[in-house]
Structure 1
Amino acid sequence: MSMSAYYQHTVAGPVIFAGIGVHTGAHVRVAVRPAAPDSGIVFVRADLKDIDNVIRLSAECVGQTRLGTVVSNAAGAKVSTIEHLMAALCALGVDNAVVELDGPEVPILDGSAEPFVQVLDRAGRRRQEALRRYIEVLAPIEVIDGDKRAALLPSDRFEMAFEIFFDSAPVGRQAIDLEITEESFRRELANCRTFGFLKDVEGLRAAGLARGASMENAVVLDGDRVLNPEGLRRPDEFVRHKALDAVGDLYVLGAPLLARFEGRYAGHGLNNQVARALAANPRAWRLRTLAPELAEAV
């Protein structure tokens, strides 16, 4: 195992990017900055001056999960659509960073995690003299809602299994099962985009959602047709994006997982429910390091 897996990392220097939010349509500027060991990923709403604008992540800080993951603090500061950036931070092994925004939503960019990977590559990563602590799942945790299921199972590595079904020819039934590493994330998941159906757009916009959505940042389906002129990046881009979302949704737990995640027709809501169920059951997990001489629980 690479020595980098034993130690915490932050970004080597600040990096700035900007874009529109897929739901708010607001133009937002983001700065990702280095942070101290054991501080985790922290969001700061720089545009909010009269309230506590710092959001420290946990499974419990996730509120709304309709078509995205929204986190907030007790003062009411919120940041939405964090999942693609969180997936990139998780997969690239960034344990500690301050994400400062001047608006309410992380930009959607092209609808995948690939632009965030590129941003983090520009920043670079710096090893910190603190051991990385992993959340090792010791006992199965499962949440079921009708035919939907999300589970975290014991494993000595982070694995992701996902299955979806949509009554649309380009999607149909798709499944993926892979170990999540930096290399596999870059190769198998990072460039897979979010998707939606044209018939839902009017209702979503009436509900205050999808105001910034377009074919530049999502795969748009109209019945059995993909409307994007460039088509799909992969035949199973849809299930791969769902797996990408789950990587980001689970990273709100505050540490990388040693676990197998299984999702059947799951989304942001069920992903968060299983994360909350794990956090609420301290006998089902422990924190541990991976250094051979320091592999005991910490």
Structure 2
Amino acid sequence: MQTTLKDDVPLVGIGLHSGRPARVTLRPAAADSGVRFRRVDLSGCDTMIPARYDLVSDTTLNTRLTNAAGVSVSTIEHLMAAIAGTGLHNVLVDIDGPEIPIMDGSARRFVRGILSAGLRRLDAPISAWAVMKTVTLEEGDVTASLSPFSGLTIDFTIDFPDAAIGRQTASMNLSNGTFIRELADCRTFCRRAEVDYMQSRGLALGGTLENAVVIDGDQVLNPEGFRRRDECVRHKMLDALGDLALAGAPVLGAYRGVRAGHGPTNRLLRKAFATPGAMARVTVDAKIAGGMPGFQLVAADLAAVG
């Protein structure tokens, strides 16, 4: 059955690009309402922004949604990954500005808040998007694809010239609590030269070693180093889950990304939904539900949140 929160989840942090304080509250929502953002700092216009792939207006360094009234919210990908990874289907996200807080650069604090509040089952079946045939996006050396699968798997490859990152590949079936155990704590990363460039252009003003892993050649500038040996590719998988969650319902399929990011994943979704017969809306039965993210979490999964 569909889920929502048992209680509100208030969270406070800093916007990665604005550098300004940001307050967000996750609230329970009715069945079939999905994920919606609401800009509580605005009035006199439509402040509701559904979390949908076709409302993505920018994918430069983050994912931004914009509604028909021009109201937007950005840096949504980590929160969307936490929502999808915990099996939360319906939630209203109140935000007092244009950017979701970056927290520690991962999805861990969002997951912790969701699990602390708890999930409530609703009297409505889960509806999902099943990938019926393979759809591939190729852009130079970047590839992203979706293929049929009964649950959700993500396979990702990155390749950076920096020795501290290099070439990394990982593949995971995201059933049950896999996202929480294996991906939720993996932080966003960037190269030192990119940080200097972004901040010179008024971006990443809230970025620090407290909310991002910074790489300089063969060095990790964060004193604690990586949380996981392959944290970089795992974070790319986290991002992919968050961007796939903009399908508007859980995706049943196998995602593969090679050097992909927010833009290619969004364009892949647009291509998949525009391809006749590629995506089908299905009602999830108990067998399918057992292989989806967030199903029947156990104590060990919750402990992984920290």
Question: TM-score range with shorter-chain normalisation?
Answer: over 0.9
Partner residue in 1 for 2:298:
none
Q: Which residue of the partner structure matches residue 241 of structure 1? A: 235
Instruction: In structure 1, list runs of 5 or more residues that go unmatched.
Output: 1-6
C-alpha displacement of 1:293? 9.8
Q: What does 1:1-298 correspond to in 2, within 5 Å?
A: 7-291=1-285
How far 1:206 sits from its partner (Å)?
A: 3.3
The CA distance in 2 between the partners of 1:261 and 1:252, in whole Å, is 14
- How far 1:28 moved relative to its partner? 0.8
AA matched with 1:199: A
1:49-92 residue CA offsets vs partner (Å, 9 max, x unmatched)? 12211001221100110111001101111111000000010011
Q: Distance in 2 between matches of 1:293 and 1:231?
A: 40
Q: Which runs of 5+ in 2 are unaligned?
A: 290-306
The answer on whether the counterparts of 1:16 and 1:29 sit within 8 Å (CA) in structure 2 is yes
Asked if the contact 2:150/2:288 (under 8 Å) is kept, the reply is: no
131-140 vs 175-184, which moves further: 175-184
Tell me the CA shift for residue 148 of structure 1. Answer: 0.3
Letter in 2 for 1:203: Y
Cα drift, residue 282 of structure 1: 4.3
Q: Is the 8 A contact 1:163 1:263 kept in 2?
A: yes
Deviations 1:169-199 (A, max 9, x none): 1110000111012411111101000001111
Is contact 1:163–1:173 with CA below 8 Å preserved after alignment?
Answer: yes
Stretches of 4+ aligned residues off by more than 4 angstroms: 292-295
Query: CA separation in 1, counterparts of 2:286 and 2:237?
Result: 30
CA 1:292/1:214 → structure 2, altered by over 3 Å: closer, same or farther? closer
Matched residues in 2 for 1:294 and 1:57: separation? Answer: 23
SS state of the match for residue 23, structure 1?
coil
TM-score normalised according to structure 1 size: 0.94
**In 1, are the aligned partners of 2:151 and 2:288 still within 8 Å (CA)?**
no
Amino acid in structure 2 at the alignment position of 1:59: Y
Letter in 2 for 1:49: S
Call closer, same or farther: CA 1:182–1:80 in 2, change over 3 Å: farther
Q: Is the 8 A contact 1:26 1:103 kept in 2?
A: no
Q: Is the 8 A contact 1:134 1:289 kept in 2?
A: yes
The one-character-per-residue Cα deviations of 1:10-44 (angstroms, maximum 9, x if unpaired) are 11111101100111111111110011111100000
Please report the RMSD computed on the Cα atoms of aligned residues, expressed in angstroms: 1.4
Q: Which moved more, 1:177-186 or 1:62-71?
A: 177-186
SS of residue paired to 1:283 = coil
Measured in 2, the distance between the counterparts of 1:179 and 1:160 equals 7
How many matched pairs?
289
For 1:215, give the aligned amino acid.
Answer: L
SS across alignment from 1:99: strand
1:4 alignment counterpart: none
Q: SS at 1:278's partner residue?
A: helix
CA–CA separation in structure 1 for the residues paired with 2:35 and 2:208: 29
CA deviation string 1:241-297 (max 9, x = no partner): 0000000001011111110000000000001000111122241111112326999xx
| Structure 1 pair 32–282 and aligned structure 2 pair: CA distance change class (3 A) | farther
TM-score (norm 2): 0.92
Partner of 2:301: none
Shift of 1:158: 0.3
